[in-house]
Structure 1
Amino acid sequence: MTRNLIPGVLAMAAIVVASNILVQYLFGQWLTWGAFTYPFAFLVTDLMNRIYGAAAARRVVLVGFGVGLLCSFIGTQIMGEFGPLVTLRIAIASGTAFLTAQLLDVAIFDRLRNGAWWRAPMVSTLVGATVDTTIFFTIAFSTWLIWLEPGNDISWASEALPLLGLGPAAPLWVSLAVADWGVKLSLSVIALIPFRIIVQRLSPKST
């Protein structure tokens, strides 16, 4: 690993660790604090992609994936009030969503890198965030994947409630997913500001 990648690796690792810790703490009825830190993983991936290229970005993603696996393993060993802090389904969902979404982000960004400066980070993050949310919540909480961990009671996640407390009835996990997705989309727009500033400082000729 080249020295140039170390800041990206450290930033990705810090985001993954922080998100795994903060996901244990609720923010309102539909979110956890981790929802506000994890989306910045896309910012790190996009910065590495813009400045050092797709291959470098993929290496940083793989490091983040490894750190996530370690966090999940540690979480399975810590018992909370209702069992392990991280269940098998959560671990599978988290790892699959992260790796798929981040690598997709890298591929889309690389294809769009020659367009307007904001196009690649915006489109790649929006698509990646949508895929990430869909994969994670579907694997973690949908009833049709109960066979992944039959002993894990997730019936609470399927309770029919008004969507986000206002809309038509839907399983609770759908409201959680929509709220999480909304935060990711909002932060993807905000992240364009530090993206532009950092790219201009580190790679003045980039657009």
Structure 2
Amino acid sequence: CRDNKDCLIDKRQRNRCQYCRYQKCLAMGMKREAVQEERQRGKDRNENEVESTSSANEDMPVEKILEAELAVEPRTETYVDANMGLNPNSPNDPVTNICQAADKQLFTLVEWAKRVPHFSELPLDDQVILLRAGWNELLIASFSHRSITVKDGILLATGLHVHRNSAHSAGVGAIFDRVLTELVSKMRDMQMD
């Protein structure tokens, strides 16, 4: 467990901490002997899923998803350091900068989703439910991926670079460091493009 062995385990966050999930299962009456049995059942199920996902790949090729990504968010080669004050229209507060970037990114996220194959064919209510359920993970993944080339900071959708020191000064250092170590550095190590 990364925290104090008291992670919130609910329907949405059950996979975030294996230790706390396991402890909650035991507390709720799960038998320890069931663990291996469940793992075996999952293995059988996963073998069947591999067969079915290959046909799903034909309906939604990665190229189409990448096309949607490139259409809504062109790559920027330059960025502005939020601490430098080079942009007079932008506040110097990292939290405000992050909120403004998140706002911009949410609009981009909706546009991206509309371009993903089959998404717009879903009923509008289902589209809204999916976006509401996944916007935060998609947002964090997006700025984490954008920040691969940046050292000790996060590159926001607005083009602003928030340095680690600024985040710590603003009181959001813990979550900031967690994003840097658990997402950005791992994406960098995997050489994600």
Scaled by the length of structure 2, the TM-score of the pair is 0.28
Scaled by the length of structure 1, the TM-score of the pair is 0.27
Question: Structure 1 or 2: larger helix share?
Answer: 1
Work out which of the two has the higher radius of gyration on C-alpha atoms and give 1 or 2.
Answer: 2
